[in-house]
Amino acid sequence: MRLIVTSWNINSVRLRIDQVRRFVETVRPDVLCLQETKCPDDRFPLKDIRAMGLPHVAFSGQKGYHGVAIASRLPFSATDVMRFCGKDDARHIAVTLGAEAGAAAGITLHDFYVPAGGDIPDPELNEKFAHKLQFLDEMRAWGRDARPAHGPAILVGDLNVAPLETDVWSHKQLLDVVSHTPVETQALETLRQESGWIDAMRRLRPEPERIYTWWSYRSPDWAAADKGRRLDHVWVSRDLDPALRSVEVFKEARGWERPSDHAPVTAVLEL
């Protein structure tokens, strides 16, 4: 069977629910993982998403900030949220696909929203950057202790780190810009490799191809300037590596009216 999985930082699921619908109608993902839903659970647009043909929905939100959700055509057998850094931030949710999911049954999907980290890349001067580094450190410990990549598993999300030189428009100019500093890129690559995850985008589209998933709102002509970064990721466990067929950035959504600053990333697996 074909499994289509999308990760998208939507930057308010209520404001952009029509864009979610338009995307789902166009790409028809089996599983849609959202970040920055920015709404409390009692205001989550559950009926709208179910009406898109994604009846199984798990969400973890809070007022104003953060928030993650997984909407699926296939039923879940389990859902779970993890907390990091001793905070109540809604930055992770996971589901395991149920027995009715055919060849996809038993796959666990982790949806992450890693802290952006503020502007100053110094943990002594900027507690948001310290928080980001601690979050990555706890992700590393989780990978080591829980071994999530040692079963059929997929990790997606806005990891807020562009790890490779060709994941940013200018490696040199971004070396001291939060999201591409060596301490972050090394932390992310180390935790990924240690945990056994495969970077699906780069497996199928290796360097030196440049891949971006995010373009700042602050660039008036974002498409022409094309000063993007690859902040959104799809990782798969080793046993799913042979199933990978394609990974695409749906850049056109960044050009829609009142868009999210992130484009959806979609992976196709043949199970």
Partner DNA sequence: ATGGTGGCCACGCCA
Name the binding residues: 9, 36, 158, 160, 261-262
Q: Nearer to DNA by C-beta: 12 or 79?
A: 12
CB atoms within 10 A of CB 225: 12
DSSP 29-84: -SEEEEE---S-GGG--HHHHHTTT--EEEEE--SSS--EEEEESSPEEEEE----
Among 54, 92, 115, 215, binds DNA (CB under 7 A): 115
Q: By CB under 7 A, which span of 50-58, 71-79, 115-123, 205-213 interacts with DNA? A: 115-123
Q: By CB under 7 A, which span of 47-55, 57-65, 191-199, 239-247 interacts with DNA? A: 57-65
Is 45 in contact with 18 (CB distance < 8 Å)? no
- Closest approach, Cβ 191 to DNA, in A, equals 19
One symbol per residue from 197 to 226: x for binding DNA (CB under 7 A), - otherwise; what is it? -------------------xxx-x------
Name the region of 64 (left: φ>0; alpha: ψ -120 to 50; beta: rest). Answer: left
Is 193 in contact with 209 (CB distance < 8 Å)? no
Q: Does 11 bind DNA (CB under 7 A)?
A: yes
d(C-alpha 103, C-alpha 238), whole Å:
16
217 is catalytic: no
Q: Nearer to DNA by C-beta: 65 or 182?
A: 65
DSSP 170-221: -HHHHTTSTTS-HHHHHHHHHHHHHHT-EEHHHHHS-TTS----EE-TT-TT
Binding residues for Mg(2+): 9, 36, 158, 160, 261-262
Tokens, residue 179: 């999201």
The amino acid at residue 232 is D
262 is catalytic: yes
- Closest approach, Cβ 187 to DNA, in A, equals 17
Among candidates 196, 123, 187, which has minimal Cα distance to 155?
196
Query: Site for DNA (CB under 7 A): how many residues?
Result: 21
Handedness of CA 165, 168, 173, 178 (dihedral sign): negative
| Catalytic member of 30, 111, 158, 167 | 158
Positions 19 through 48 that interact with DNA (CB under 7 A): 38-40
Q: Does 63 bind DNA (CB under 7 A)?
A: yes
Q: Does 229 bind DNA (CB under 7 A)?
A: no
Q: Which residues bind DNA (CB under 7 A)?
A: 11-12, 14-15, 38-40, 63-65, 115-118, 128, 160, 216-218, 220, 258
What residues are annotated to the active site?
113, 158, 262
